[in-house]
C-alpha cells in the first residue's frame, strides 16, 4: 500500500480554504481534514468544563482528556468530542470567540499537530487535503504540494458576510480582521513560505478557484487524477 499523499493548504479567514479544499478533495477522491475544527472542538471542550480559554493551565488540563474524532469524508463531515457530536456547536459565536485562546498555547498546538499527522497516516486514502493556518510550514512542511490560498481583505470580508446572512456586514468584517490580527500573533498565515504556491482568488469565482487549486495539486503530484 502506498503512503497517503498530503496536500497542505493554508489561508486566512474568509479565503474559502475550507469549501475549496473540500470540493478539491471530492474531485480527487481524497480525504479532507479541517484542522481548525480541532481547535474549535477543544475550545468547546474547555467551555463545556466551565473553564476559561484565556487560562492556559485550564486549556492544557482540558487537552489532557480531549477525546477527539473527525470525519475525513468530504461528503459526510462530522466532529465529535467523546460521545457528543459538536459539528454545529463548534461554529457558535461563543466558541469562535474562544478559539484563539486555545490555539495560542504551544503545548496544545504540538498535541494537535501530532494528531493531524496520525489522522492522515491512518486515513486509508490515496491522499488527504489538510487545510488550516500552519499546515505548509509546521504540520506538513514536506508535503509534495503546499498552497497558500488567499484573497484581498475586502473580498474575504464580503464572502464571509454572504455566508453569515444574519449578521451585519460591518460587524463581520471587523470580526474577520480581529481574527486575522489575533491568529497572526501565533502563526504567519498571510505570507507564503519558500516552496509554497500562492493561489489568489480575489478575482476568481468559486469554480475557478477550485480549478486553480486542482491544477497546482495535479502538477505537484505528477498526475491527472
Known binding residues are: 11-19
**Binding annotation for ATP:** 11-19
In sequence order, which ranges of 69-221 are alpha helices (DSSP H)? 93-96, 99-103, 106-121, 153-163, 169-183, 206-221
Residue 166, burial from CB neighbour count under 10 angstroms (0-12, 13-18, 19+): exposed
Cell numbers that stand for 98 in this block? 474562544
Question: First vs last Cα of the chain: how many Å apart?
Answer: 18
Angle, nearest 10°, between helix axes 206-221 and 17-28? 60
* Residue 142 in grid coordinates: 514536506
User: Could you tell me the maximum CA-CA distance found in the chain, to the nearest angstrom?
Assistant: 51
Amino acid at each position: 500500500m502506498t503512503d497517503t499523499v498530503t496536500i497542505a493548504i493554508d489561508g486566512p479567514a474568509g479565503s474559502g480554504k475550507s469549501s475549496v479544499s473540500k470540493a478539491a478533495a471530492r474531485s480527487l477522491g481524497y480525504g479532507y481534514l479541517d484542522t481548525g475544527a480541532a481547535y474549535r472542538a477543544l475550545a468547546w471542550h474547555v467551555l463545556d468544563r466551565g473553564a476559561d480559554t484565556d487560562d492556559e493551565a485550564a486549556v492544557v488540563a482540558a487537552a489532557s482528556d480531549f477525546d477527539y474524532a473527525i470525519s475525513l469524508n468530504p461528503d459526510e463531515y462530522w466532529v465529535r468530542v467523546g460521545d457528543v457530536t459538536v459539528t454545529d456547536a463548534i461554529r457558535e459565536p461563543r466558541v469562535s470567540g474562544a478559539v484563539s485562546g486555545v490555539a495560542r498555547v504551544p503545548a496544545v498546538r504540538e498535541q494537535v499537530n501530532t494528531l493531524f499527522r496520525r489522522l492522515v497516516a491512518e486515513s486509508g486514502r490515496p491522499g488527504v487535503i489538510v487545510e488550516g493556518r500552519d499546515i505548509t510550514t509546521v504540520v506538513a512542511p514536506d508535503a509534495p504540494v503546499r498552497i497558500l490560498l488567499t484573497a484581498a481583505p475586502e473580498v474575504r470580508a464580503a464572502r464571509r458576510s454572504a455566508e453569515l446572512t444574519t449578521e451585519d456586514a460591518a460587524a463581520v468584517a471587523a470580526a474577520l480582521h480581529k481574527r486575522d490580527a489575533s491568529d497572526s500573533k501565533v502563526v504567519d498565515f498571510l505570507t507564503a513560505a519558500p516552496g509554497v504556491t500562492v493561489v489568489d482568488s480575489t478575482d476568481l469565482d468559486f469554480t475557478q478557484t477550485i480549478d486553480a487549486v486542482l491544477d497546482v495539486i495535479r502538477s505537484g503530484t505528477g498526475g491527472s487524477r
